[in-house]
Amino acid sequence: MAETVLQVKSVTKHFPGVVALNQVDFNNYAGEIHALVGENGAGKSTLIKVIAGAYQPDGGEIIFGGQKTVWDSPHQSREAGISVIYQEFNLFPDLTVAENIFMGNEPLKAFRLIDYPKMIKESDELLSKFGICIEPLKKVKDLSVAEQQMVEIAKGMCNQTKLFILDEPTAGISDQEAETLFERLAVLKAEGVSVIYISHRLGEIFQIADRVTVLKDGNLVDTFDTKAIDKNTLVSKMVGRDLEDIYPPKGGEAGGEALSIKSLSVGHLVKDVSFSLRQGEILGLAGLVGSRRTELAHGLFGSLPITAGSYKLGGREVSATNPQASIRSGLGFLTEDRKNEGLVLGQSIEANITMPILAQFANNSLVDFKREKNFCQQEMDKYAIVAKSGEVLVNNLSGGNQQKVLFSRWVQACGGVLILDEPTRGVDVGAKVEIYKIIRDLAESGLAILLISSELQEVVGMCDRVVVMKEGRLAGELENDQISEESIMHLATLSRENFVCD
Amino acid sequence: MSEAFKKVVSKIDPSIGIVSGLVLLLVIAGFFVSDRFGTTQNLLNILENSVSLGLASMGQTLVILTGGIDLSIGGIISLTSCLTSGVINGNSSLMFPVIAGVLLLGIAIGALNGVLIVRLGVHPLIVTLGMSMVLQGVTLMYTLEPPGAMPLSWDLVAYGKLLGVPVAPLVMVLIFIAMWAFLKKARLGRYIFAVGGNAEAARLSGIRQNRVVVFVYTACGFFATLTGLYLVSRMGIGDPRIGGYYMLSSITPVVVGGTILAGGKGGVIGTLIGVYLIIVLRNLLNFMDITSFYQWIIEGVIIIVAVSFYVERKKV
Amino acid sequence: MSGTTINLERAETSRLAQAKPFFQKYGLYVFLVLLILIAVSTSPQFLAPRNIQNLLTEGAPLGMAALGQTFVILTAGLDLSVGSLMSSVAVIATSIAPDNVMILPIFLIAIAFGALVGFVNGWLVTKRKVSPFLATLATMIVLQGLRFAWTKGAPLSGHLPPGFRVLGTGTLLSIPVNLWALGFLILVFAIVLYRTTYGRKLYLVGGNPRAAFLSGIHADRVIIAAYMICAVLASIAGLFLVGYVGSVDNWVGKGYELDSIAAVMMGGASFKGGKGGIFGSLAGVLVLIVIYNLVLLLGFPIQTQLVVKGLVIILAASFYLTRGD
């Protein structure tokens, strides 16, 4: 076998309230593509940040190029030849494409001046290697999400890389663009570069990876040869149980129309979307990153302005221009980004639960803390939120418990229709199963649920019906047996206009 | 030709366009307001009046570009101006060693600001506010009155002329152009924007942001010291209270020139035009016999109007 | 969970880390006690009732200003117009008839003026999206201009209703009158902050304005109200200050904006908002005035006070931060 480029030995990393990595072992050979898989919150992103020196491990060691390394900052790992494409974009919106690609790695002239002509030329070459036409002097804020993703990838490829780490590089790009990426990775592999590849799209992993390592809840499950394992086995390793046990059985009778949307547009973001949702139904809203599902939800909720069209809640026309009004008319919205848009992390569980309905616990503006406390205790029992008391700061809860706090909040506050945007992002499998059960129970109790999710499995496993969005428009609708990962992907990427050169 | 011109125009930041337009408007208005406005003497006056504010705002721009702020500029100006004239005390043989020493001191104070911000993790506003109090206190312990005297030759800094043209305003403009080129072309210059634009991304890109932060506060200390030395030349003597004005006034031209307090966007050219805007405005109001009291009101209004016109950066 | 064994292991390795939360929470109080001990041991006059009375009388206006500043800093903002507003209110007070009958009207006018200024600040910050620093800096400059335009730059004196002197320097049951007033304001605003829905919303909006907005809280209104509370308290502080000083010049409130911000920050607040509280801020005020008093008692030149104050502000603020926070 080829030489070992990277060896991770029993690495441990804690965050407040969570063990993100628990004595994980991992290694990578030269000229190998090694896939890293696991559910959201399994510890993949933490592991690569530890490898890249962005986090310092609490225990264990990392051996890179035969030497034990202790990196205080990403600067050192970069110098050593590790290049990372992170899941969240790490771009500078007000700088140009070329500057972004070469950030931290600029070609220099005398006096540490940047050699712009060279930088622009090399950016051009690099981008055209991917067959992409992006003007290197354009500012990044003027690019589309997919273009930004390609810039991020190009950024990772520009230096003398020995180990190339990609975290979900294909989350926002089309199959065609992904193929170009895979070709590049094959070339790098042939040149002896070692690659760590994280993806939710399991198909890709079987297509390009040599080995695959499974993480679950911060623990190493095992490492397999991709030839020696099939997709179903891999999935059951990832979730730690058989698929049938994860999703509650579908069914239940759908009632009357709870939400109906007619040719709704939200600025330039969402165009002419129509669909309806019935009581007791779970409707999936699927699409690639950048397909504007979240923006549609914000339009409904009054946090982005609706520019055309209308919608009805329970048969009544709604014209909400702010979340207060939407909540009053019966809508609840559990946002995708729970740290930035959902929770107030520095406040207690109680304060977070009663946020939209605080007035119910007040007499003449004075908060009745006793009543609030009792109510929250009931809620914590109901949703099995694990914490010493309701006064515990939300910051100290695990992802799953944080998410349950949000469920408690929104189920209380909403009056008929609940929008769930990525409700299981960053929670462990146990909590996931609980949340799926909560969602199904809510539907059975008559609530209409719009479930936005990027995890196709989840959409397939949970939804009674699915609508697919593509670049702000409706791409199609799927029902019953039509719902499959393949059919959703097909609609989501179908005849997508893209920026690939001819 | 016109295509090329359009391309150039489209590259100019809209905020710079707005401020330049305002300056132009004020100058045109000036010719109508008073016959004396357009005289060479008055125009040179305007240029000379802009030097100290320009130098102070130069350093402030660098700091604000990283998303920080420096409230200690005033303290540094007061301290360095007093030390210079106080220690030299008319003795021209001491002039150069003292000036070199004072420059080093200013740089060291700036560096200390940066190190404290990086190491203690305290917000720049608090660190530099504390530093400003310390410096002001030290200055007042050193002297309560304008101390010592400067050799006559030091007057040349502020009043020197070359072929009838005052040198100091010219040098200031050259410094701005040099810093513009530095921010545009040098790696460190680009890193200043990167750290201000997205600190975490900068860190993950392998930029040693602590060094960048320490650098900008050091540079700010340097420019504040230059301001102090210039003022000593202009007044002929240091003054323990002269810096107070610059603490907050150095921020106005920066933000009026389109640099946003959040960092990562803007630049020194906008600041330079912002400085001229304020100085021309003041000059004009003087001709209109409007007292400084109303000038304050107008300055406040300009800050608000300018800033609420510029669109803050959208996150990627 | 599987983390238990590792957690134990970690606890062993970092005794120091355990001490840190304590220090973060109570650091300023410990510091204050230390400072008082130093004061007591170096200067016998420190504990003299007269000195304590002086110290508190002098500190009361800063206490009021810091009380208001706390509300604004909780929203992740700050108010630089506090000092200028205090001066302006002082000028207003001297511009109305110097008759004790006018005390109540003067208070009402000052409060209304403060509410207006606070509203403008809050409006600029929320509706015009001007950063708090610049919005309140601009208000500060504009108020300064208005004040000087009104007074023509001349200092005013002796035109205050005599009752103001009593408010500023008198005692009631041997406790300074302005301390009674401060106590009353603390009580009122502690209830507002810790017992009302508004106080709860303020912490929620400060901690995460986006999440608060998406939960149906009128974040803008909450923030505007915070600026109004701050400005009203600054106006009241201005009146007590002018009562204490006795005469008015145009700069009487100068420095109060930065001192009040420093006190609040020492008291555990963060410019990121949602953190800190009234009692921390008041402890911060006490630290500042004890330093001031100590410097006087020890006979150091008054300028030393600035140096010590500057150092203490930096030091105290660093208690609350962990690296990478």
- Nearest by CB to residue B208, choosing from A73, A94, A103, is A73
Beta bridge partners of A362: A367
> Both tokens of residue A251?
């069914």
The closest of A38, A49, A39 to A15, measured between CA atoms, is: A49
With an 8 Å Cβ cutoff, are B193 and A103 in contact? no
- Which of C197, C200, C215 best tests the A interface by mutation, with the highest count of A CBs <10 A? C215
What gap in Å lies between CA A358 and CA A354, rounded to an integer? Answer: 5
Mutate to test the interface with B, among C23, C72, C141, C152 (most CBs of B within 10 A): C141
Tell me how far apart the alpha carbons of residues A153 and A148 are, in angstroms, rounded to a whole number.
Answer: 9
Report the distance separating Cα A231 and Cα A149, nearest Å: 27
| Phi and psi torsions of A198, nearest 5° | -105, 130
Q: Which residue of C has its CA nearest to B262?
A: C131
B-chain residues within 8 Å CB-CB of A155? 205
Residue A189 in tokens: 């592999």
Nearest to B212 by CA among B53, B67, B26, B38: B67
The sign of the torsion formed by the CA atoms of A131, A133, A137, A142 equals negative
Helices then strands (H, E): number in chain A? 16, 22
Alpha-helix residue ranges (DSSP H) falling in chain C: 4-13, 15-42, 49-74, 82-95, 103-126, 132-151, 163-169, 177-195, 197-207, 209-214, 219-245, 256-266, 278-297, 302-319
How close does chain B come to A362, measured CA to CA in Å?
37
Burial of A228 (0-12, 13-18, 19+ CB in 10 A): exposed
For chains B and C, CB pairs below 8 A equal 139
Which residues of chain C make contact with A409, given a CB cutoff of 8 A? 215
Interatomic CA distance for residues C44 and C298, integer angstroms: 10
Any chain B CB within 8 A of the CB of C149? Answer: yes
Distance from the Cα of B138 to chain A's closest Cα (Å) equals 38
Provide the number of CB pairs (under 8 Å) joining chain A to chain C.
95
| Minimal C-alpha gap between B220 and chain C (Å) | 19
For A63-84, what is each residue's pLDDT tens digit? Answer: 998 888 888 888 888 888 898 8
Ordered by start, the domain boundaries in chain C are 63-318
C145:B295 CB<8 A: yes
Top residue of A216, A347, A411 to mutate, by most chain C CBs within 10 Å, is A347
- Digit-by-digit pLDDT tens for chain A (502 residues) are 578 899 999 999 988 767 889 999 999 999 999 999 887 778 888 899 999 998 999 989 999 988 888 888 888 888 888 988 887 778 888 889 999 988 888 888 888 889 989 999 988 888 887 777 788 888 888 887 778 888 888 887 766 788 999 988 887 677 777 888 888 888 888 888 899 999 877 788 899 999 999 998 888 999 999 999 888 888 888 877 776 678 888 877 778 889 999 999 998 889 999 999 999 999 999 988 778 899 999 999 999 999 999 899 888 888 778 899 999 889 999 998 888 899 999 999 999 999 999 999 998 889 999 999 999 999 999 998 888 889 999 988 877 889 999 999 999 988 889 999 989 877 777 788 889 999 999 999 999 999 998 888 889 889 999 999 988 899 899 988 888 888 888 888 765 444 444 3
Chain B touched by C260 (CB under 8 Å): no
Q: Out of C144, C147, C310, whose CB is closest to B137?
A: C310
CB contact at 8 A, A127 and A136: yes
- Cα–Cα distances in angstroms (integers) from residue B191 to residues A231, A387, A459, in the given order: 45, 43, 43
Which H/E stretch holds residue A298? helix A293-301
Here the tokens at position A410 are: 């929104």
Nearest beta carbon to residue A347 from set C1, C195, C204: C204
Spatial separation of the C-alpha atoms in residues B195 and B120, rounded to whole Å: 18
Closest residue on chain B to C121 (Cα) = B304
ipTM higher than the 0.90 cut: no
pLDDT tens, position by position, for chain B (316 residues)?
Answer: 466 666 666 666 777 888 888 889 888 988 888 888 888 888 888 999 999 999 999 999 999 999 999 999 999 999 999 999 999 988 888 989 999 999 999 999 999 999 999 988 888 999 999 999 999 999 999 999 899 888 888 888 888 888 888 899 999 999 999 999 999 999 999 999 999 988 888 888 888 889 999 999 999 999 999 999 999 999 989 999 999 889 988 999 999 898 988 888 899 999 999 999 999 988 888 888 777 778 788 888 888 877 777 654 333 3
Tell me B224's DSSP state.
H
Give A 347-386 residues with CB within 8 A of chain C.
347, 351, 355-356, 358-359, 362, 365-367
d(CA A41, CA A29): 26
Is C131 in the B-facing interface, judged by CB distances under 8 Å? yes
B226 vs B76: CA distance, rounded Å: 10
Of A180, A174, A234, which Cα lies nearest the Cα of A205?
A: A234
Q: Of all residues in chain C, what percent carry a pLDDT higher than 70?
A: 89
> Do B187 and A79 count as a contact with CB atoms less than 8 A apart?
no
List the subunits that have 3+ CB pairs under 8 angstroms with A. B, C
Q: Which residue has the tokens 């099995």?
A: A384
The closest alpha carbon to B259, from B204, B206, B192, belongs to B192
For residue A426 the two structure tokens come to: 């960053």
Residue in A14, A343, A366 nearest the CB of C196: A366
Residue C95: Cβ-neighbour burial (10 angstroms; 0-12, 13-18, 19+) = middle
CA–CA–CA angle C216, C219, C224 (5° rounding):
150
CB-based contact B125 C301, cutoff 8 Å? no
Between β-strands A473-479 and A465-470, what pairing exists: parallel, antiparallel or unpaired? antiparallel
Partner A contacted by C211 (CB < 8 A): yes
Beta carbons of C246 and C168 less than 8 angstroms apart: yes
Output the average pLDDT for chain B. 88
Contacts of C212 (CB under 8 A, 6+ apart): A344, A355, C201, C204, C205, C219, C222
**Nearest-angstrom CA–CA distance, A218 and A15:** 11
Largest alpha-carbon pair distance within chain C? 75
Contact C67, C186 (CB under 8 A): yes
Per-residue CA distances from C153 to B30, C137, C249 (Å): 26, 20, 9
pLDDT at position C20 is 56
Q: Is C267 helix (H, G, I), strand (E, B) or coil?
A: coil
What Rg do the C-alpha atoms of chain B give, in angstroms? Answer: 20
pLDDT tens digits, C242-266: 888 877 777 888 889 999 999 998 8
Mutual orientation of helices C302-319 and B95-120 as an angle, nearest 10°?
30
CB contact under 8 A, C214 and A341: yes
CB contact under 8 A, B141 and C258: no
CA atoms within 13 A on the CB side of A93: 16
Q: What are phi and psi of A310, to 5 degrees?
A: -155, 170
Q: Is C324 an 8 Å CB contact of chain A?
A: no
**Two tokens, residue C215:** 């939960």
Say how far apart CA C75 and CA C271 lie, in whole Å: 8
What is the rounded CA–CA span in Å between residue A351 and residue A372?
9
Interface touch C306/B140, C-beta < 8 Å: yes
Which of C135, C265, C314 is nearest residue B304 as measured by Cβ atoms?
C135
* Chain A residues touching C204 at Cβ < 8 A: 344, 347, 351, 355
List of domains in chain A: 4-242 (3.40.50.300), 243-330+414-497 (3.40.50.300), 346-413 (no CATH)
pLDDT in tens, B15-67: 788 888 888 988 898 888 888 888 888 888 899 999 999 999 999 999 999 99
Instruction: Give the span between the Cα atoms of C186 and C204, in whole angstroms.
Output: 21
Write the pLDDT tens digit of every residue in C26-59.
Answer: 778 888 898 899 888 988 888 888 888 888 998 9
Output the CA torsion C157→C160→C164→C165 (10° steps).
Answer: 40
pLDDT digits (tens, 9 = 90+) for B205-228: 888 889 999 999 999 999 999 999
Positive or negative CA dihedral for C69, C72, C76, C80?
negative
CB atoms within 10 A of CB A349: 29
Q: Does residue C264 sit at the B interface (CB-CB below 8 Å)?
A: no
Q: How far is C186 from chain B (nearest CA, A)?
A: 25
Q: For residue A52, which residues of chain B lie inside 8 Å, CB to CB?
A: 204
Tell which of A75, A118, A137 to mutate to test the B interface (max B CBs under 10 Å): A75
Q: Note the pLDDT tens digit of each residue in A135-163.
A: 888 888 888 777 888 888 888 776 678 89
C177 in Cβ contact with C197 (< 8 Å): no
Please answer yes or no on whether C317 and B123 come within 8 Å at the CB atom: yes
C193 contact A CB<8A: no
Query: Could you give the dihedral angle defined by the CA atoms of residues A365, A367, A368 and A369, in that order, rounded to the nearest 10 degrees?
Result: 180
> C213 in contact with A at a CB cutoff of 8 Å?
yes
SS3 A451: strand
SS3 B43: helix
Both tokens assigned to A300: 């409904």
Q: At which residue do the structure tokens 């101006």 appear?
A: B81
Residues of chain B with C-beta less than 8 angstroms from the C-beta of C314: 116, 120, 122, 126-127, 130-131
User: Which one, of C215, B19, C200, C220, lies nearest residue A361 by Cα?
Assistant: C200
